Structure 1
Amino acid sequence: MKDPKWGFAFPDWAYKPESSPGSRQIQLWHFILELLQKEEYQGVIAWQGDYGEFVIKDPDEVARLWGIRKCKPHMNYDKLSRALRYYYNKRILHKTKGKRFTYKFNFSKVVLVNYPLLDVAAATTGSPLLLTPGPFAGTPGPDAPPLTPEVS
């Protein structure tokens, strides 16, 4: 799915189909990507600044939406932010210093979590990427876009 502002396309596996409320399948970072791709949530959460950076404009609403998805009516931003901090050590995302409610995805790590044998270095040289999913990654759907960098 291409974001015209950033000029890159997320592979389809990054946007898992919405799971039913209460499903323990979805992870918070997938949920955040879901919100970021939907225009109706631009007032709540939006891309900002550098590649992969986003700002949570309405932390209480993001927490409420996450609570609805997970069937956790007592979800609040303190609990949600604790879950976000869990991703720091995994290097999936990090807090942007000096900016409130602003985080940045480490897309190379997100890709490597799902495709551990992906040649991310090739992306910087313009070479085709080697796409070999890991044993637990699953496979991209038949209509998934290639994971090659877009050249202007």
Structure 2
Amino acid sequence: NKDDFFFPSAVLFPDWAYKPAWSPPGSRQVHLWHFLLELLGRGEGGAITWGSEWGEFVIRDPERLAKLWGERKGKPHMNYDKLSRALRYYYNKRILHKTKGKRFTYKFNFSKLVLVNYPSLPTCPQVRESVLNVLLHSCKSIFNFLL
């Protein structure tokens, strides 16, 4: 079962996905999508788990997830309504999207995250796409193997 397996960041995600390292509560440095990847990487299955498709995750306990996010950001009144508003903010940025027909299920757009976080990728579109495909294919192969 993939949920029982520890997902090492160096294998499944580029190092930027876990930076900065665990920041102190109330820190403005951490983004929600970083936080979600941290929880998924640590196997926080009570609140959030990987879904059945590449990049898909399921929020198992929305209020628990909101509480964890609130603790991390130093916002004790965080609730799922506020957290889901933050998730929707990522739709326009194409960092993630809601999976249609599945409640509390979202999917990361890792190719967008790679482009944003690897500005040193070659500028030539063909070379850039080739490098991206290699990065994403290796991560996806490992994910599918664990399924």
TM-score w.r.t. structure 2 length?
0.78
Cα distance per residue 1:20-63 (max 9 Å; x no partner): 00000000000000000012x11210111211000000000000
The share of aligned pairs that are identical, in percent, is: 67
The total of aligned residue pairs comes to: 126
Residue 108 of structure 2, aligned match among 105, 108, 112: 105
Q: Which moved more, 1:28-37 or 1:43-52?
A: 43-52
- The RMSD of aligned alpha carbons is 2.2
Residue 81 of structure 2, aligned match among 62, 75, 78: 78
In the alignment, does 2:130 pair up with 1:121?
yes
Q: CA deviation at 1:116?
A: 3.3
SS at match of 1:23: coil
SS at match of 1:46: strand
Q: Which residue of 1 aligns with 2:38?
A: 34
Q: Which residue of 1 aligns with 2:71?
A: 68
Cα distance per residue 1:108-137 (max 9 Å; x no partner): 00011111353243454x5xxxxxxxxxxx
Distance in 1, matches of 2:105 and 2:137, equals 26
Please identify which structure carries the higher helix content.
2
SS at match of 1:65: helix
Structure 2 alignment gaps of length 5 or more: 1-5, 122-127, 143-147
Residue 27 of structure 2, aligned match among 23, 30, 40: 23
SS at match of 2:22: coil
Q: Which runs of 4+ in 1 moved over 3 A?
A: 120-124, 147-152
Distance in 2, matches of 1:66 and 1:82, equals 13
Distance in 2, matches of 1:76 and 1:48, equals 23
TM-score w.r.t. structure 1 length?
0.75
Structure 1 alignment gaps of length 5 or more: 127-146
8 Å contact kept, 1:95–1:102: yes
Structure 1: which amino acid aligns with 2:15?
Answer: D
8 Å contact kept, 1:123–1:148: yes
Q: Which residue of 2 aligns with 1:133?
A: none
Query: Higher relative contact order at CA 8 Å, sep ≥6: structure 1 or structure 2?
Result: 2
Distance in 2, matches of 1:30 and 1:123, equals 20
Q: CA deviation at 1:13?
A: 1.4
